Structure 1
């Protein structure tokens, strides 16, 4: 009997059809192209059953909260820096860009306290973050839709921006409340946001030289998908106990003199910072420096923010002193943009702006947290960013847009420098009133 031939490993032997099987016709499966519904359902399954368990196991509280800032600011950086460039490419005037910016901030001002009330009432700020991030991402689809329309897309863009602002409004203040609720160093956690903002805007600034400005919209939507996955891993607040009604406690918070002074400083911060940020990319094009250097300037600014956020908690300066120094940082930065529109001066000016922003936010966010009673911290943070920073930014956008058309974008920064000096003077009032209970930041 001859040696039996061995079948090579890994080869599959298909038997010849017999008489019984040859007559049976086996239908072939058709390979259909995936529909949009099937695509998004598969994407949701991947996020739910693959990404979310990994995040739950591997991202503990030491990294989860800094990651919230890192992801959000990286996603938002391109839209924040180049929104008006995108609107300018759509044919909008300076006044129209100012109206869009004002609508964006005004919508946030109106809804932010409501988001805070819901978060405190349900004691689930993380679930509020999930809903808010989803709304903000979907609403930005109005920008590519408006860019594809043959006519004027001003009304569509304005409506989409308003809805975007409604969703984006609570993301940062509720993240602040979560970080401070868990006893984390706010400056350390927030430094991750500054770092990611600087890196992302630098990369995006160079990419825009080779691709469409709508890239900033698509990157934001992708970033919010990651943000939602992170927020779903945050537990609810089961320890805070609010004594009395939520509305009564909120009114009492607004009646406190310490909190009122903090809101005034936050209003001026929003006025000088939001309007300056909105028109900085327009300024860079006006002085002939371009989008690539815009990204570099934003990156240097956020490096300065990061360094200050990491170091300010170890200083012995009072919150009022931090507000005054921060206001002077803005004044010096805007004066430099007005007087010396060269690359070196612009980069140096952005260092001053980054230092000022970090000092002011560190002082005001911590003061708002300290002024709020237990169980009302989310509301306090949303009031700070809506009644304070948001309302000031809304007024700043419309005033800055009018000044751009009246005196030019370069001269507009001179008026912002004067407003920054007023902010520095408000720091004296913060020191006299709000620092009475909190003499140092150490």
Structure 2
């Protein structure tokens, strides 16, 4: 396959496959009888497992210069691990431990897929925003369709669709050549420690941590929120679609703006704050759709800025490691804490009020954009 289509196709297939599981995982767990705390623990385990193994996947990809082969192994592991969900649903007793273990293994496999895809795209000089927009498009289309299909079929559909999608993903990854041009000066471990010691990269990780905290926790409980306010699964898909349409538009347009990366982080944080405040205060269909547009804009701006900044901070030959550190130490660690905090808040104050707290955290993320601009901005996004 021509490389102009191969990399966008990777995002398209993965996000289409993952969309249903991301949007309706907690609905599936709720149907299995789990409490908000148990759902939060499962989400935390999923994130922590990714945090632990992502840098290892990145090291292996940089050491072997074969990130595509790593993607093949990772996608296969993640697909097989999700078979624990239909098995758990078939049990007459408590499936919490089985689902938690299966989710952990799933997370180990899924962890490197997006960061290594990011590294491959930027390594080849492709426009990250353009390639990533295909993922947002497919996510929106798929989650909209799945939301309506769940009215007529089992929620386990999201598991089977992910497994089928990974078969296609593996076939695409097998067509990607190895990296034979990058030259890493010095030992891999030494260079990775040096990257972590750079103040610029540390500021990027702080912003990524807060992004993970506010985005992953909100995503995990959004379907629960929609049922709680009486809107249901069909409108859940519509809301996710509105969010991903906004992501797509921003990913396609942001590379043409003159805003600095730090400014993009600040505007993105405000997008999250506005979106979550809308969910907390106005639980009507129109307001929910509008709130998700704000969340989509924020997500696209933040990921565009942080992925490009991580690439800029990394020495040649360490780009896979940089992207996995961004998504593990940064987004992943923040998401793990966010899952636990959100699960506790759901039980303590209710899922609707939880979003007010996430709005406040998003304002802090917007303020961190000032530090990103002062310390880590190496160039405007139009130069990426």
> Shorter-chain TM-score: what band?
over 0.9
Q: CA RMSD in A?
A: 0.8
Question: What does residue 223 of structure 2 align with?
Answer: 281
- C-alpha displacement of 1:435: 1.3
Counterpart Cα distance in 2 of 1:283 and 1:436: 40
Counterpart Cα distance in 2 of 1:436 and 1:124: 28
Secondary structure in structure 1 of the residue aligned to 2:94: coil
- C-alpha displacement of 1:74: 0.1
Q: Return 5+ residue gaps in structure 2 as ranges.
A: none
Question: What does residue 67 of structure 1 align with?
Answer: 9
Counterpart Cα distance in 2 of 1:82 and 1:188: 27
Q: Is the 8 A contact 1:319 1:430 kept in 2?
A: yes
Q: Does structure 1 residue 394 correspond to structure 2 residue 306?
A: no
Counterpart Cα distance in 2 of 1:436 and 1:245: 25
Q: Is the 8 A contact 1:316 1:441 kept in 2?
A: no
Q: Is the 8 A contact 1:319 1:441 kept in 2?
A: no
Secondary structure in structure 2 of the residue aligned to 1:91: coil
Counterpart Cα distance in 1 of 2:128 and 2:63: 23
Q: Is the 8 A contact 2:269 2:363 kept in 1?
A: yes
Deviations 1:58-87 (A, max 9, x none): x21000000000000000000000000000
- C-alpha displacement of 1:168: 0.0
Counterpart Cα distance in 1 of 2:243 and 2:283: 16
Secondary structure in structure 2 of the residue aligned to 1:179: helix
- C-alpha displacement of 1:270: 0.1
How is 1:141-152 mapped onto 2 (pairs within 5 angstroms)? 141-152=83-94
Q: Is the 8 A contact 1:317 1:441 kept in 2?
A: no
Counterpart Cα distance in 1 of 2:48 and 2:113: 16
Counterpart Cα distance in 2 of 1:214 and 1:175: 27
Question: What does residue 366 of structure 2 align with?
Answer: 424
Deviations 1:333-381 (A, max 9, x none): 0000000000000000000000000000000000000000000000000
Q: Is the 8 A contact 2:257 2:381 kept in 1?
A: no
Q: Is the 8 A contact 2:137 2:244 kept in 1?
A: yes
Q: Does structure 1 residue 332 correspond to structure 2 residue 274?
A: yes
Secondary structure in structure 1 of the residue aligned to 2:243: helix
Deviations 1:70-128 (A, max 9, x none): 00000000000000000000000000000000000000000000000000000000000
**Stretches of 4+ aligned residues off by more than 4 angstroms:** 436-442
Counterpart Cα distance in 1 of 2:335 and 2:33: 23
Secondary structure in structure 2 of the residue aligned to 1:239: coil
Secondary structure in structure 2 of the residue aligned to 1:303: helix
Structure with more relative contact order (C-alpha pairs < 8 Å, separation 6 or more): 2
Counterpart Cα distance in 2 of 1:438 and 1:338: 34
User: Which of 316, 335, 360 lines up with 2:302 in the alignment?
Assistant: 360
Deviations 1:211-265 (A, max 9, x none): 0000000000000000000000000000000000000000000000000000000
- C-alpha displacement of 1:437: 5.1
- C-alpha displacement of 1:439: 7.7
Q: Is the 8 A contact 2:256 2:382 kept in 1?
A: no
- For normalisation by structure 2, the TM-score amounts to 0.99
Q: Is the 8 A contact 1:198 1:298 kept in 2?
A: yes
Larger Cα Rg: Structure 1 or Structure 2?
Answer: 1
Question: What does residue 77 of structure 2 align with?
Answer: 135
The aligned length equals: 384
Counterpart Cα distance in 1 of 2:326 and 2:158: 27
Q: Is the 8 A contact 1:318 1:439 kept in 2?
A: yes
Secondary structure in structure 1 of the residue aligned to 2:256: coil
Deviations 1:35-62 (A, max 9, x none): xxxxxxxxxxxxxxxxxxxxxxxx2100
Question: What does residue 32 of structure 1 align with?
Answer: none
Q: Is the 8 A contact 1:315 1:441 kept in 2?
A: no
Q: Is the 8 A contact 1:318 1:441 kept in 2?
A: no
Deviations 1:163-215 (A, max 9, x none): 00000000000000000000000000000000000000000000000000000
Residues 97 and 182 (structure 1), Cα distance of their counterparts in 2 relative to 1, 3 Å cut: same
- For normalisation by structure 1, the TM-score amounts to 0.86
Q: Is the 8 A contact 2:256 2:381 kept in 1?
A: no
Secondary structure in structure 1 of the residue aligned to 2:102: helix
- C-alpha displacement of 1:144: 0.1
Residues 438 and 300 (structure 1), Cα distance of their counterparts in 2 relative to 1, 3 Å cut: closer
Counterpart Cα distance in 1 of 2:172 and 2:166: 10
Counterpart Cα distance in 1 of 2:10 and 2:94: 36
